[in-house]
Amino acid sequence: MVVDQIGLQIVQGALAPGAPLPNADDWSAKLGVSRTVLREAIKVLAGKGLIETRPKTGTRVRPRSDWNFLDPYVLTWCYAGGERNDVRALFELRRTIEPAAAGLAAERATAEQIQDLEAVLLEMEKYADDGERFAEPDLVFHQTILRMTGNELIGSLAAVIETALLMSFRLSNDNPHGQRPSLPLHRKVADRIAARDSDGARKALETLLDQAEDDVRTALNARRGRKK
């Protein structure tokens, strides 16, 4: 896909901020696509804040500060290399949002929502030894907590950070310990919410994220070791 090819080049530094994009004729020929396809790809990338087109100066890569890092495509391109700094940024985002949401969920969740969270935990237990299938109920678990806050603005973040959540799950897939060790941590979060223990829910979610980040770093180290 042309958008992915160009997006990766920009995000990974092959096309630096401020740099002009190649001549359209030459570039479309190099990519093996028509100018129409290239033009549409440029529009998509402009919508993600990666490039801009201006009279006289042409089409250029925009500064990183203008990029929409929460866009699913941009986020995927950023984490394609699994860089340590990117992992830190990912978990800083999650720590800013999720523990506070867990605290509010403990105060406001309905009995039905708590039952829903229990049902998701059962799905996680079912697929604890299958990293790929575990990711879906894990995502639902975290998104459910955001919606349990009763705050529509926070609830909307469930969709906004979906890619960020999935990316952290996928980065940890190579963890040699698998996903099963995380189940007691998820269980504690759910139990603290059900007990209406706001402070306990926040701390349990923080502990879960600390372990998740360790798992991601362990998986990345293992991946790098195999490449040597």
Q: Is the per-residue pLDDT at 224 higher than 70? A: no
Q: Which pLDDT score is estimated for 151?
A: 96
**Biggest CA pair distance of the chain:** 64
On whether the CB atoms of residues 145 and 101 are closer than 8 A, the answer is yes
Residue 68 DSSP one-character state:
-
What's the CA gap between 48 and 36, in Å, rounded?
19
Q: What angle do CA 216, 220, 225 make, to 5 degrees?
A: 150
3-state secondary structure (DSSP) of residue 138: helix
Is the backbone of residue 196 left (phi > 0), alpha (psi -120 to 50) or beta?
Answer: left
Residue type (1 letter), 217: R
Per-position b or e across 150-159, b if 16+ CB within 10 A of its CB: eeeebbebbe
Dihedral sign from CA coordinates of 166, 167, 170, 174 = negative
What's the CA gap between 188 and 134, in Å, rounded?
18
Query: Tens digits of per-residue pLDDT, 26-79?
Result: 889 988 999 999 999 999 999 999 999 888 778 999 999 999 988 888 888 887
Report the residue count for the chain. 228
What's the CA gap between 108 and 94, in Å, rounded?
21
What's the CA gap between 169 and 111, in Å, rounded?
28
Query: Tens digits of per-residue pLDDT, 79-128?
Result: 775 555 578 888 898 999 999 999 999 999 999 999 999 999 999 999 98
